[in-house]
Structure 1
Amino acid sequence: MSSTAELREERANRTPTRDQAPQQAPADPTASIADPGPLGLAAFALTTFVLSLFNAGLAPESLEPAVLPLALFYGGIAQFVAGLWEFRKANTFGATAFCSYGAFWLAFAAYVQFIEPELQASGVPEAGITTATGLFLVGWAIFTLYMLIASLRTTGALVGVFATLFLTFALLSIGDLTGVDAIATVGGFVGLLSALIAWYASAAVVTNATWGRTVLPVGPRS
């Protein structure tokens, strides 16, 4: 039979001390921060939708400057800010996408407002300006291609956004570089589809978060 001292020693060995107590996982410091994804997707969707109306020939070209305020404030600044908050949420994919496409819209607004008039004033022919636009878009097609590959590990809705966006950039750049307007027009229609999918993805995240359950599915993660 064990002595009293032995029982005390055995009980002490079974009872963890403060240093031996299991460490709890630290709380997520970003848990109280709202998801910036729906804002970024909505800003992208609306600006892309309006510009694509002109690219598809569904809106008169003379009204195209109406896109610039959207490109600057919503597609540009709002989307870029959403990307910065994705950095805070430790979402590398979202931060890269929103900051990049926000910068795209800011660059687009500056290009249309300042660069195109400068090229025209310098005597550059219209074909040369169109080629410059095509080169501008080629780089974004390449960027969107590898973001499409990365999106395959996200949701079906995001894959749809990046797949159609890649086709949009590719068709617009080919149309501008070759001078075949019909190709750019098709790119405009694909851009409309990309905008609609992005709107759906944004609406799904907002609605599902508000209702606390899946109301609008976004497709399974691969």
Structure 2
Amino acid sequence: MSEITDIEKGPVAIESDTGPKIHRVHTSGQNNEIVHLGDTAVERDELIAALGLPFPSEPPAHGIRIGNPSPLGFAAFGLCSFVMGMLNFGVRGVELPMTLVGLCFFYGGLMQTVVAVMELIVGNTFGVIGFGSYAAFFFSYGAILTPSFGITESYGKDEHQFANAVGIYLLGWCVFSFMMWTITLRTTIELCFMFTCITLSFVLAAAAEFTGDIATKKAGGIVTILIGFTGWYLAYCEFCKTVPEIFYFRPRMTPMPGAPKTH
């Protein structure tokens, strides 16, 4: 017991704390659920409840690492465009485009749909709109080419009306591609070039359907072949950017003038 002096009341006796002193606090257990206060061990939840503290929320689970889906999307778009361009140009005398149906459904359509969903997860809005929309294009174009859908047969023998209908269909995609092209003006030269070719190819393809001109169709085929090579190049660049340690040759995309710098 000790004594202190109060100015108003005089000497006042106080009792000193003779209880055990806590020199160390640590935790144990698989999830640190045991708290050691000196020589005393208590459950963490019991201690929190005794002190009247709010219970902490559960720690967030480790995030799942999502790979870069863009290389797959560009590769699918590039291959389908290359084959379509070769067929439209009439390479080796091939006129019927039925071999394109499988690519349209399973690579250009299905795979780009998967890519669009993954782009949504990683937060790439441009990728969602671009890959998702062109996946729908390949699905729908494959449906036009597939006899079981009955689209071509529904026009009967009126080939002129069918050609005009396909031309209008392609013209709609031309407008959409032009909109996407305006967005690429502040991205990279390679991406802007590809969307320039995409827009031009739809213009030429629609014009070929409206006029029936073979030369216009072949010109559209050449542009579409360029789209294929550009798509493959972009796929390679994106792949290199994702895992640069496995590539000897590492091409880089060139930013457009005025494009924001990326690190």
Band the TM-score falls in, shorter-chain normalisation: 0.7 to 0.9
Matches of residues 101-112 of structure 1 in structure 2 within 5 Å?
101-112=134-145
Q: Which amino acid aligns with 1:130?
A: A
Distance change (3 Å), C-alpha of 1:122 and 1:115? farther
Report the counterpart of residue 39 of structure 1 in structure 2: 72
Pairwise CA RMSD: 2.3
Q: CA deviation at 1:158?
A: 0.8
Aligned residues: 195
Q: Does 1:218 find its partner at 2:253? A: yes
Distance change (3 Å), C-alpha of 1:30 and 1:140? farther
Report the counterpart of residue 176 of structure 1 in structure 2: 209
Contact kept in structure 1, 2:166 and 2:206, CA below 8 Å: yes
Report the counterpart of residue 141 of structure 1 in structure 2: 174
Report the counterpart of residue 79 of structure 1 in structure 2: 112
Q: Which amino acid aligns with 2:253?
A: V
Cα separation, 2, equivalents of 1:95 and 1:118:
28
Task: Between 144-153 and 63-72, report the one with greater CA deviation.
Answer: 63-72
Q: Choose from 51, 67, 70 the match for 2:103.
A: 70
Cα-to-partner distance string for 1:186-214 (whole Å, 9 max, x where unaligned)? 01100000111111010111123222598
Cα-to-partner distance string for 1:96-148 (whole Å, 9 max, x where unaligned)? 00000001000011111148854446523222221111111000000000100
Cα separation, 2, equivalents of 1:62 and 1:160:
28
Report the counterpart of residue 85 of structure 2 in structure 1: 52
Distance change (3 Å), C-alpha of 1:159 and 1:122? closer
Q: Which has the higher contact order (CA 8 A, sep 6+)?
A: 1
Q: Does 1:160 find its partner at 2:164? A: no
Q: Choose from 122, 126, 131 the match for 2:159.
A: 126
Q: Choose from 236, 240, 249 the match for 1:203.
A: 236
Considering fraction of residues, name the structure with more strand. 2
Cα separation, 1, equivalents of 2:232 and 2:149:
30
Q: Which amino acid aligns with 1:35?
A: N
**SS at 2:91 equivalent:** coil
Identity of aligned residues (%): 31
Cα-to-partner distance string for 1:60-82 (whole Å, 9 max, x where unaligned)? 33552111101100000001110
Considering fraction of residues, name the structure with more helix. 1
Cα separation, 1, equivalents of 2:69 and 2:244:
17
Contact kept in structure 2, 1:53 and 1:59, CA below 8 Å: no
Q: CA deviation at 1:153?
A: 2.0
Q: CA deviation at 1:175?
A: 1.3
Cα separation, 1, equivalents of 2:238 and 2:153:
44
Cα separation, 1, equivalents of 2:169 and 2:147:
15
Q: CA deviation at 1:184?
A: 1.6
TM norm structure 2:
0.68
Cα-to-partner distance string for 1:10-43 (whole Å, 9 max, x where unaligned)? xxxxxxxxxxxxxxxxx9x988211111110000
Bigger Cα Rg? 2
Cα separation, 1, equivalents of 2:255 and 2:95:
43
Cα separation, 1, equivalents of 2:132 and 2:154:
32
5+ residue gaps in structure 1? 1-26
